[in-house]
Structure 1
Amino acid sequence: MKTSARNEFSGTIQSIVNGAVNTEVVLDIGEGHELVSVITHDSAASLGLKVGGKAIALVKAPWVIVTRADSKLRTSARNKLCGVVAYCHEGAVNGEVIIDLGQGKQLAAIITNESLKGLGLEAGIPACAHIKASHIVLAVEE
């Protein structure tokens, strides 16, 4: 499977909860990390999602909110993955931040250069990635 999403996490479906409008899916991506995705009922049905089944979470790098790990900021984003900044790359307007989540897992985020500097992000700084549940696209292998 090829996609333009920079972040791809394979995992096992831990729970599926049908709400009035959407379906909430909890995916265990290993090493104590979980991702919660909110998708439509039709999407859940067409993917054939089942507890214990496998799925892939896709997250585009610009959809990720980055904070320092010691931040007291609270967000409405359902997902929070913390690790250590592996490296940062500054572009003309935006910068790329790679957070090492451990055990070979990394997460890429695109943030403004102003935010990159303002947060003081550089290799070795503990940081967290916040991702709204509605920004996680689920896929399954056929």
Structure 2
Amino acid sequence: MKLSARNQFKGIVKNVNEGTVNGIVTIEVNGEAVSATISLNAIKELGLKDGASAIAIIKATEVMVATELPKISARNKFQGVIKSIDEGAVNDIVAIETKLGVVSATISKNAVKELELSVGKEAYAIIKATSVMVGIE
């Protein structure tokens, strides 16, 4: 299956913490932990367990960008360096090179300007665990 989501990271499930309705699945990708909050039904249907292969899938519109690491409830915070900024009419696509891989974020042109983002500048890609989808091959 091909998806339009720009961010797709293959890794290994390191932990599945099941709750009553949802669970938190931790996928290790290049030494980085990606947390995904998904339904128990999805965990069971996908056969997710420690050691299983999985793909963390994140739409670029769900990625926030920061120039300093804030105290924030989002579980996924990846430090990196801006690799490119593709300019659009309203939004720009910011690509941040992290240990995870290149994380793409679609953010407003105003945000790019306010944060003074530029190629080579350090930045953080921040994603809530509820914004991470999990897939298998």
TM-score tier by shorter-chain length is over 0.9
**Which structure 2 residue ranges, 5 or more long, are not aligned?**
none
1:128 aligns with 2:124: yes
CA distance, structure 1, for counterparts of residue 106 and residue 11 of structure 2: 24
- Among 89, 104, 112, which residue is 1:92 paired with? 89
Shift of 1:102: 4.3
User: Residue 78 of structure 1 aligns to which amino acid in structure 2?
Assistant: R
- Distance in 2 (alpha carbons) for counterparts of 1:37 and 1:21: 14
CA distance in 2, matches of 1:90, 1:120: 14
The equivalent of 1:119 in structure 2 is 115
The CA deviation at 1:108 is 0.3
Question: How far apart are the structure 1 equivalents of 2:21 and 2:52?
Answer: 23
Task: Give TM-score, length-normalised by structure 1.
Answer: 0.92
| Structure-1 residue corresponding to 2:56 | 57
Q: How many residues of Structure 1 are paired with residues of Structure 2 in the alignment?
A: 137
**Paired position in structure 1 for 2:105:** 109
CA distance in 2, matches of 1:119, 1:94: 14
1:50 CA drift (Å) = 1.3
Q: Alpha-carbon deviations, 1:85-107, whole Å to 9, x = none?
A: 0011221110110001148x201
Cα RMSD between the aligned structures?
1.2
Any runs of at least 4 consecutive aligned residues in structure 1 with deviations exceeding 3 A, and if so which?
A: none
Q: Which sections of structure 1, spanning at least 5 residues, go unmatched?
A: none
Give the aligned residue type for 1:109.
A
How many angstroms apart in 2 are the aligned matches of 1:81 and 1:52? 23
2:44 alignment partner in structure 1: 45
The CA deviation at 1:43 is 0.4
Structure 2: distance between partners of 1:28 and 1:79? 12
2:69 and 2:124 in contact (8 A); partners too: no
Which digits, 9 at most, give the CA deviation of each residue in 1:57-78, with x for residues without a partner? 100000000001xx25222211
- Cα 1:132–1:102 change in 2 (3 A) is closer
For normalisation by structure 2, the TM-score amounts to 0.96
Q: Is the contact between residue 12 and residue 29 of structure 2 (CA under 8 Å) also seen in structure 1?
A: yes
